[in-house]
Structure 1
Amino acid sequence: MRRLLLAPTLLLATSFGAMAADAVVIESPPEVIIAPVFNWTGAYIGGEVGYLWGDGDYADSVLNYATPEPDGWLGGVYVGYNYQFTNNVVLGVDADFAWTGADDTSAVFNGGLPVPASLDSDLDWTGAARLRLGYAVDRFLPYIAGGVAFGKVSGSYYDGGGVLVGSDDDTSVGWTLGAGLEYAFTDNLIGRAEYRYTDFGDFDFAIGGGTATTDLTSNDVRFGLAWKF
């Protein structure tokens, strides 16, 4: 009789054990957090430093000529505004102003022969107003930029004894073209690295009772840090 009572009990326990083993526990999938994609739309203001090297040609009314090549450090500020389209294309406007220490002292020639004189050239400041076109890759923004450039050049002419014959300065308008890369370290702090080529056009001087013209082009590299609003 005892065996008969144990048999159903064992059978029932075995059945419940099998059902428990076959039960499937469904767990909720982990929550996926999608980081927001950075958007470049907005205004910004920043500061920049860089290095500039120039290439010029000087010619005066008595056929003296020189090839000034001013180079030196630069530093300034820039402001602008970007708009990012839904296809990640970024269109913007950008303006900058920089003071430079670019200067050079060049020999003077006439008919291929050296003249006992020298020419000091200084690029005092530069500025530009440009359009920018880029393609956003989240927090990276490679871009090209071009527009109108401005610059002020000072020239001083010395005779062979180092005596100042005359000096003058002029501001000229030209064009500039460049390319760069920006990276958003945070939603507001944006770094920039850029190369730029600029043609400042002609600068006209009145030196020592005569007239002279200098045309100047430059290459420069710049690094900036801006705050985006």
Structure 2
Amino acid sequence: MKKLLLGLSLSLLASSAFAADAIVGEAAPIFIWTGGYVGVQAGYAWSDGNIHQNNGPGFIESDPDGFLGGVFAGYNYQMSNDVVIGAELDFVSANVDGSGQIFAAPGLPFPGGVGTEELNWSGAARLRLGYAADRFLPYIAGGVAFGDIGISSNTGVSSFGDTFTGWTIGAGLDYAMTANLLLRAEYRYTDFGKEALPAGVVDLTTSEVRLGFAYKF
């Protein structure tokens, strides 16, 4: 009986070890982030926008907000220590605008005067740095930003616009749903800088939240 029990015990141990080996052998491989990708994105922006009169005291606080959407593409390289570096380009069409009271000077509103500032599109060229945790990739990113900004008013002054150049920085999380399909959530801050247009000195900074979906090659 003892020999029978010993034999059964050894058999169960061997079966358990074989089952464990089979489970390990069937485990999903660690996801590798190296490769190119293209995707679509959409989001919402809120801004701090100002227009100041050229060489004068007049000003407008417009603070545009609104929605945006577009495309992005990039390439990741995963190093042996799971650090991921990459580069990315993106472009969005924007419906981000805001209006404010025109002040001829602090405390002196221009009667009935309203000025509008709007972001029509923006794009960026960014470098990314992240850390791969299997299918999760938290990252930070920053680089050069471009945006088409226009201003107008109801006072009969002509509308003006130009392409501004500034900088952007942000953080996000990519998640690999499958070997090829990626999801993204991101926050970014962008300063488009200041530029003197005929109607005044214009500046705009934006905060944005974006959601994206991409295909990895």
TM above 0.5, yes or no, is yes
What is the number of equivalent residue pairs in this alignment?
Answer: 204
Which residue, 120, 123, 129 being the options, matches 1:127? 123
Deviation at 1:90, TM superposition (A): 0.3
Calculate percent identity across the aligned residue pairs.
49
User: Who is 1:67 aligned against?
Assistant: 61
Cα distance in 2 for residues equivalent to 1:192 and 1:180: 7
What does 1:1-229 align with in structure 2 at a 5 Å threshold?
Answer: 21=4, 24=7, 26=11, 27-28=14-15, 29-30=18-19, 31-32=22-23, 33=25, 34-61=27-54, 62-112=56-106, 113-116=108-111, 117-159=113-155, 164-207=156-199, 212-229=200-217
CA 1:65–1:23 in structure 2 vs 1: closer, same or farther (change >3 Å)?
closer
Cα distance in 2 for residues equivalent to 1:171 and 1:124: 10
State the AA in 1 paired with 2:130: G
Q: Which shifted more, 150-159 or 77-86?
A: 150-159
CA 1:127–1:22 in structure 2 vs 1: closer, same or farther (change >3 Å)?
closer
Where structure 1 has 5 or more consecutive residues not aligned to the other structure, the ranges are 1-17
Cα distance in 2 for residues equivalent to 1:65 and 1:19: 96
Cα distance in 2 for residues equivalent to 1:138 and 1:128: 27
Secondary structure of residue in 1 paired with 2:4: helix
Q: Is the 8 Å Cα contact of residues 193 and 224 (structure 1) preserved in structure 2?
A: yes
Secondary structure of residue in 2 paired with 1:21: helix
Q: Is the 8 Å Cα contact of residues 147 and 165 (structure 2) preserved in structure 1?
A: yes
Cα distance in 2 for residues equivalent to 1:100 and 1:197: 15
Deviation at 1:120, TM superposition (A): 1.4
Deviation at 1:74, TM superposition (A): 0.4
Deviation string 1:181-226 (CA, Å, 9 cap, x unpaired) is 110000000000000000000133224xxxx111110100000000
Structure of greater Rg: 1
Which TM-score applies when normalising by structure 2? Answer: 0.89
Q: Is the 8 Å Cα contact of residues 56 and 216 (structure 1) preserved in structure 2?
A: yes
